[in-house]
Structure 1
Amino acid sequence: MKITFYKYQGTGNDFVMIDNREGIFSHETSLVSKMCDRKFGIGADGLILIEHHDKLDFEMVYFNADGSQSLCGNGSRCAVSFARYLGIIQDHANFLTIDGEYEADIKNGLIHLHMRDQQNPKKFDSHYFLNNGSPHHIEFVNDVDKKDVRNLGATTRYSDAYKPNGTNVNFVQVKEDHTIYVRTYERGVEDETLSCGTGITASALAAADKGLRSPIFIEAKGGKLEVRFEQNVDKSFSNIWLIGPAEQVFVGQFDI
């Protein structure tokens, strides 16, 4: 059986998107991995199903390329863009994720994803840590382009400190004008991706501990994003928004 899929990307973080409101696509992880494979499949960092929800606009079911599941910030933004393309929403969305209910707005061609309130990232001698629906190890470095993100990220991701489930790993360089440059090793993809929405958000909140204030502008290898937030007296964060583009790349069919 052939199934129609759509390819979306959010600052280089790319996803196979499927309208599954009729339930024709199973949640079989081996099929997810096959479709995401860059040599033998379509090729993507993850796969997203848009499914029917009785009370919300839709449910987003997200799989990493290896079939595992977590919250995906850029994937959520792409899901909102796809839902608008399908006519499910107009300029606002309330939808269900593995991390619960989220909302988003579409303004001036950009997807504004409202993230959950967060406590101050945990600070250690060499890094920060924050779980904002996905776990993130955050290291600040002087020159992020000199970092071997794939090998250093894998070492930390599989270290004893993060067993058994591992973590995503972000390397962050503070630049001028409230800007940070972020490179991320993503768990579930097991490689560096061009952008990671939850990682960028976590990195921006950690950067607030270094004196940066909202809005924080982010440079990733796949493009530019923005994180806006309110920092409270107790150093917790509220009204957090991840802002950036999400674009349809092409449409195709895959034999399942």
Structure 2
Amino acid sequence: MTQTINFSKGHGTGNDFVLIADPEGSLDLSPAQVARLCDRRFGVGADGLIRAVRSRAIPEGSAALAEEPEAEWFMDYRNADGSVAEMCGNGIRVFVHFLIEQGLLVPTRGDTIPVATRSGVRDVLAGAAGYTVDLGRWALGREERLVRARQLAVARPGALIQLANPHVVVALADAAELDGLDLSVAPDIEPGLTDGANVEFVVPEEPLIAEGVARIRMRVHERGSGETLSCGTGAAAAALAFRHWAGRGAPNSWRIDVPGGRLSVRMFPTEEGEHVSLSGPAEIVFSGTVELGA
């Protein structure tokens, strides 16, 4: 038995997603179906799938509504292999853009849009050149991880950053080392993490700081998806790790260049502790229908 599904394809700095509007939560996609839709040869093709569900219509949305009653929409995010993920920094910007284009959300200028996710409610602000999301608080792991990757001659230490998703950030010697990495195979993390982690490899630009903004380059291997052209929470984690390594005096404004474009990260104080924001573009590329088998 097959069913016809309406979808849109969108991306944020090349990090691409299949987006499906399912307001009442009637669509139950299996991991195999998600993987099929995200397959670049046999499906639509994407780094992940995002289902737009009203928070009241999905069990995970109850906690979000208790935290923020105005969080009408839940971002049900799945990795390309069908596994569930907590949140996606690029995906949440594309998600809000999709809701607006579908007429499911009609914000006024300057509105902050609360979005429910598995890692809590995240506030998104629509701007003239893209979207900014408050990723919330972050945490630095107590111990470093050792990371091995193809074409990396020697294993390198990585900083563990928890920011919506788990990340391990590795500093490399130079751009040649970054460009020479083979991320077609997942890097090995020691000691491993129970749920895996995204691994970001970064190098500084020369000079690191220009006009008060620190600048770095990054490539990433995402758990459940492989190498992607961009990772929003990964870009923020990379900036946080680099600021930690740089020590006192490092700026709170960062520019991260990824293979798919450019993202901006800013750290700022709040009453509950330091938060991190991510800014970047979001685009819907096309929409269509697809036949989905059992």
TM-score, normalised with respect to structure 1? 0.90
Contact 1:182–1:218 (CA under 8 A) maintained in structure 2: yes
Structure 2: which 5+ runs fail to align? 57-68, 145-155
The alignment status of 1:41 with 2:43, answered yes or no, reads: yes
| Residues 1:82 and 2:120 are matched in the alignment | no
Q: Distance in 2 between matches of 1:237 and 1:120?
A: 13
Post-superposition Cα deviations, 1:132-171, rounded to whole Å, max 9, x if no partner, equal 12111111112243341415x6132xx4511442211110
Matched positions, count: 249
Residues 221 and 206 (structure 1), Cα distance of their counterparts in 2 relative to 1, 3 Å cut: same
Matches within 5 A, 1:1-256: 1-54=3-56, 55=69, 56-70=71-85, 71-87=87-103, 88-90=105-107, 91-120=111-140, 122=142, 124=144, 126-144=157-175, 145-150=178-183, 154-156=186-188, 159-175=189-205, 176=207, 177=210, 178-189=214-225, 191-209=226-244, 210-211=246-247, 212-230=250-268, 238-256=274-292
CA–CA separation in structure 1 for the residues paired with 2:253 and 2:75: 27
Tell me the distance in 2 between the aligned counterparts of 1:99 and 1:118: 12
Question: 2:121 and 2:227 mapped to 1: Cα distance?
Answer: 28
- The 10-residue stretch of structure 1 (243-252 or 133-142) with the greater mean CA deviation from structure 2: 133-142
Counterparts in 2 of 1:93 and 1:216: CA distance versus 1, 3 Å: same
Aligned residues: percent identity?
A: 34
Gapped regions of structure 1 (runs ≥ 5): none
Structure index of larger Rg = 2
Q: What is the deviation of 1:251?
A: 0.6
- Find the aligned partners of 2:276 and 2:204 in 1 and give their Cα distance: 20
RMSD: 2.1
Query: Is 2:20–2:52's contact at 8 Å kept on the other side of the alignment?
Result: yes
User: What amino acid sits opposite 2:132 in the alignment?
Assistant: H
Distance 2:182 2:118 in 1: 27
TM-score of the aligned structures, taking structure 2 as reference length? 0.79
- Contact 1:49/1:60 (8 A) holds in 2: yes
Query: Is contact 1:57–1:93 with CA below 8 Å preserved after alignment?
Result: no
